[in-house]
Structure 1
Amino acid sequence: MSEMNSNYFKSNFNTAYLSDEDKHVFKEQVPGYKFVVIGAGMIGTEHIQVTMLEGRATIHGIYDVDERSMAHTKREFETAYPGKKLHCYNSLKEACHDPDVDALIICTPNYTHIDIVREAVTSGKHIMLEKPMATSLKDALEIHELATNYAGVFQIGLQYRHKAIYSEAIHEVLERKSIGDVKTISIVEHRLPFLDKVKQWNKFSKYSGGTLVEKACHYFDLLNLFAESRPLTVYATGGQAVNFRTFSYGEDEDTSDIVDHAQVTVVYENGVHSTFNLCMFAPMFYEEITLCGAEGRLKAYENMDFLPNERPETHLEILSGNKQASRISTPSYPKAIQSSGHHGGTYYEHKYFIDNMEGKTTATATVDEGFWSIIVGLAAEESIRTGQIVSVTKLLEESIRV
């Protein structure tokens, strides 16, 4: 009954005519945990909405250095959830150390993560840190050290692995071994340019870490996951062909320097070869993964092209030749979850975050996995700058020497 008594289930029915005494299936779920969201922008709002939809936790408060964002998010929250109040903290320290709170969700601009994590870990509370965990190797190493052996949950927000297409692909490839040993992996992302942010920080590499850190860390996490190995070498080409080529922000800002297209090749220690193809000036949101193994091929995609044609947004196929049955499907979640953020990935990220807090085993991204997703992104950015193949071992050794 507890699964049926979730908020997404209730959203499909009119229950206003029922008194509280007559509600059983639709009885209000009492949250067992309180969260603070640090960062009240677009992704912070998504984390708030998904927390309330999942239902086992509630949002107790928010903190943001941008007062406009904080005031807007407070107003939107209290309008969407009548009778609930959202506390606004006056400082990061106050937000991290509220004794009434169980967990912190950090979703501030990338370059601020290191300073916030330094304070957050002193609280001992459970932590969900949005991707990318850091913008530089130095900061990533420090966060990795701070999170290692941390008493609470320390989860990295690489939620793409929880999207329906990737969740099913992980099950088929890594658990069922439907295509045999993986030999090659290809991922494609074609999408609109980066959206607006407060002070447009995502248009500048010094704040975001660069496109292949900021955005592609999701896909490098997936490449690493499916390869089941450490990256050995990274080679990338790319540049800034269309987006933000003359864009600047503020009187003293440089012109935007983020790449808007790239081709990245990652070779793994176990011999798996992989590629990532990125275009940030396509009129859609499209991503695709193709895995070829010794016994078959899996292809899955997710598409939002804004056209009126009615067709499935997701697709997954496993072609097995004469070895076993082939399958075609459209992986998806219930509509309320699928539309709640990142095709349901954020919802399950939160569900598993609470499961982790309760001591259950989940497949959420660890700090180690978050670290390696950053390593590939930083190596790819370096390869574009130098035109050279980057040895991951040398990259790590050089950073440690510095």
Structure 2
Amino acid sequence: MINYGIIGAGMMGQEHIRNIRLLGDARVAAIYEPDPVMAEAARALAPEAIFVDSVEAVLDQSALDCLLIASPNHVHVDQMEAIAARRPLPMMVEKPLFTTSEQAERVARLARNYPAPVWVAMEYRYMPPIAMMVDRADAATGGIRMLSLREHRFPFLDKVGAWNRFNATSGGTLVEKCCHFFDLMRLILRAEPVRVSASGGADVNHRAEEYDGRQPDIWDNAFVIVDFDGGQRAMLELCMFAEGARYQEHLSAMGPAGKIEALVPGPTRFWPEALGPAPVPQVILSPRNPKGEQALDVPVDPDLLEAGDHNGSTFYQHQRFLRVLQGAGDVEVTLADGAKAVAMGLAAQRAAETGQVVTL
């Protein structure tokens, strides 16, 4: 039995707790969540856990085998360094790893010196239709030359202290929300970015909100174009006021032999019952010769859909992390992977703010 210590049990932390409980070989042993409302919700999900009042108190629990960090973005690095100094257990850290370029070297130092496995929680890799697309992409395209990632979704949800409404605590939309997609670009293309151009802004959401006299500065839409060292091009299209779409994510990869797409619905809990059953994820193959589109349904276990908002991926991610803890697998999303995704997001933010191409 693997015992988890949870640092941060807000909305995403609670999704992790629900999925850890589905693993069978793991349990939540200790939780640190300073917000009383979120702590009470987490207590209902993990009544067996001990609730403590600090990161240090989590580390004092002798039975722990690993840690999960799902706290607000801007405190990740401080918490990782505190863990490294006191009790460097294996850990999974929610994205983004950090929020400012000044924190990059601190994360690089952790990557060089941390003595235990660290897995960065990039859930989108493990959404079943995206995972299938990644597996089949080279064969379907004959070698990807163009990659398009589109997310048309709902606005940012309410988080404790409205930390996700401000660039200073979230890192900005292209870091907080979109590091998933920059990670996918590198994963799918197996190449590194060299140039980033972007345009983005805050046009619809959160315009009338105010928190302690401050108005949100988070963006709600953007286009980003990334050139890679293998000559491939990738584009991200984000719109956070398009939750009426049937599919939330639409990925397309194109090459000389054809095209492959992945279609991913949004969270099941947001799908209106009046519209009937929620959409089923799909992978679509479109060869150039012979022509003829093939659509493959990629259904997800309803229990996994009920456990979170990420199409079952949080469970599949924890399954692989559990194998690492049991000595039967390797870390698939490293600190270096997480850092590169943030660097791309920060470059995109800067490109959009300045109107200039940013070289990496």
Correspondence 1:50 to 2:19: yes
C-alpha separation in 2, matches of 1:327 and 1:41? 40
AA in 1 matched with 2:210: S
Check whether the contact 2:172–2:219 (CA below 8 A) recurs between aligned residues.
yes
Change (3 A) 1:256 1:107: same
Structure 1 residue 326 displacement after superposition: 6.0
Name the SS of the counterpart of 2:349 in structure 1. Answer: helix
Query: Which residue of structure 2 aligns with residue 350 of structure 1?
Result: 318
Correspondence 1:267 to 2:267: no
Change (3 A) 1:88 1:363: closer
Query: Which residue of structure 2 aligns with residue 312 of structure 1?
Result: 279
Name the SS of the counterpart of 2:212 in structure 1. Answer: coil
C-alpha separation in 1, matches of 2:73 and 2:208? 23
AA in 2 matched with 1:321: R
Name the SS of the counterpart of 1:225 in structure 2. Answer: helix
Q: Mean Cα displacement is larger for which, 363-372 or 236-245? A: 363-372
Task: Please give the per-residue CA displacement for 1:296-337, whole angstroms capped at 9, x wherever unaligned.
Answer: 110111124535144633111112233699632011332212
Q: 331, 336, 343: which is aligned to 2:303?
A: 336
Q: 331, 336, 347: which is aligned to 1:368?
A: 336
The structure showing larger relative contact order (alpha-carbon pairs under 8 Å, at least 6 residues apart) is 2
Check whether the contact 1:332–1:338 (CA below 8 A) recurs between aligned residues.
no
Change (3 A) 1:353 1:36: same
In the alignment, structure 2 segments of 5+ residues that lack a partner are none
C-alpha separation in 1, matches of 2:265 and 2:128? 13
AA in 1 matched with 2:228: Y
AA in 2 matched with 1:105: L
C-alpha separation in 2, matches of 1:117 and 1:203? 23
Structure 1 residue 142 displacement after superposition: 1.1
Q: 381, 386, 389: which is aligned to 2:349?
A: 381
C-alpha separation in 2, matches of 1:340 and 1:71? 18
Structure 1 residue 66 displacement after superposition: 2.2
Query: Which residue of structure 1 aligns with residue 142 of structure 2?
Result: 180
Task: Please give the per-residue CA displacement for 1:236-259, whole angstroms capped at 9, x wherever unaligned.
Answer: 0011110112322124xx311111
AA in 2 matched with 1:308: L
C-alpha separation in 1, matches of 2:58 and 2:72? 17
C-alpha separation in 1, matches of 2:173 and 2:69? 20
Check whether the contact 1:187–1:290 (CA below 8 A) recurs between aligned residues.
yes
C-alpha separation in 2, matches of 1:76 and 1:370? 28
Query: Which residue of structure 2 aligns with residue 291 of structure 1?
Result: 253
Task: Please give the per-residue CA displacement for 1:63-120, whole angstroms capped at 9, x wherever unaligned.
Answer: 0222332233214433xxxxxx220112211212422100000000000111111112
Name the SS of the counterpart of 1:319 in structure 2. Answer: strand
Check whether the contact 1:234–1:265 (CA below 8 A) recurs between aligned residues.
yes
Figure out how many residues of one structure are paired with residues of the other and give that number. Answer: 351
Name the SS of the counterpart of 1:247 in structure 2. Answer: coil
TM-score, normalization: structure 2? 0.93
Name the SS of the counterpart of 2:341 in structure 1. Answer: helix
AA in 2 matched with 1:185: L
C-alpha separation in 2, matches of 1:283 and 1:166? 20
Correspondence 1:240 to 2:207: no
Name the SS of the counterpart of 1:290 in structure 2. Answer: strand
In the alignment, structure 1 segments of 5+ residues that lack a partner are 1-31, 79-84, 393-402
Query: Which residue of structure 1 aligns with residue 236 of structure 2?
Result: 276
Name the SS of the counterpart of 1:365 in structure 2. Answer: coil
